[in-house]
A and B are shown apart, each in its own frame.
Chain A
Amino acid sequence: QITLKESGPTLVKPTQTVTLTCTFSGFSLTTSGVAVGWIRQPPGKALEWLALIYWDDRRYSPSLRSRLTITKDTSKNQVVLTMTNMDPVDTATYYCTRSVTPAYGPDYFDSWGQGTLVTVSS
């Protein structure tokens, strides 16, 4: 059974850096074609992709690249997302997801965590 769970602060102040941790089970990031990503959703708004990390690669949203860092600890089955210079517009539910690469097509997100709401306010 595949599970992903997000953890981190629920409230951060503007200009602070937030660190979110995804702890997963049921799969390994050392497997070819498997990745873990972060996707966020502001209240009442659409999904927005942030970052993705594979065993040997990582990708970022172009619009947020300068503020994001994604890392992994395969021994702990964890992926960490760091976002700097937080602003109230970054208030959102942050989801951790598993991505898989099929035989011919591009990756898709087949498993999602429950999400964690991060509020940015002074």
Chain B
Amino acid sequence: SYELTQPPSVSVSPGQTASITCSGDKLRDKYVCWYQQRPGQSPVLVIHEDTKRPSGIPERFSGSNSGNTATLTISGTQAMDEADYYCQVWDSSTVVFGGGTKLSVL
């Protein structure tokens, strides 16, 4: 079965840029989604189809996908961005999630 690998944790200072990676075999051949889950809340879609932001998601969130790695980038990170982030793809008509990355804004 297909696997997505994310770092367990990433730290960033307020105002700086955070990068969260998601790795998988030939990931560039798939479209990647990213979900944000704040503590005690339901996940929220922040990026779909590698780079597209849903309505209402701040412009500081952006995505890219190249080679075997997709990246969620948060520019000018704010305290409210502290959350768990999950990448997700489709593989053989099934949904696959990464293990999640805890973003700490210190």
- Residues on A lying within 8 angstroms of B by beta carbon are 37, 39, 46-49, 52, 59, 61-63, 95, 102, 104-110, 112-115
B78-106: CB near A (< 8 Å → 1, else 0) gives: 00000000101110011111111000000
Set A37, A39, A104, A109: member contacting B33, Cβ < 8 A = A109
Residues of B within 8 A of A102 (CB): 48-49
> Are A110 and B54 in contact, CB atoms less than 8 angstroms apart?
yes
Q: How far is the CA of A114 from the CA of B93 in the complex (A)?
A: 26
Quick one: which of B49, B86, B96 contacts A108, CB cutoff 8 A?
Answer: B49
Ordered nearest first, which 5 A-B pairs have the shortest CB separation? A49-B95, A105-B49, A108-B48, A112-B42, A106-B90
Assess the B31–A47 pair: CB atoms within 8 A: no
- How far, in angstroms, from A92 to B99 measured CA to CA in the complex? 15
- Whether A109 touches B45, Cβ cut-off 8 Å, given contacts A47-B86, A49-B97, A52-B95, is yes
CB pairs A–B below 8 angstroms (20 shown)? A37-B95, A46-B86, A46-B100, A47-B43, A48-B97, A49-B95, A61-B94, A62-B1, A62-B94, A104-B49, A106-B30, A106-B31, A106-B89, A107-B90, A108-B45, A109-B33, A109-B35, A109-B43, A110-B45, A112-B44
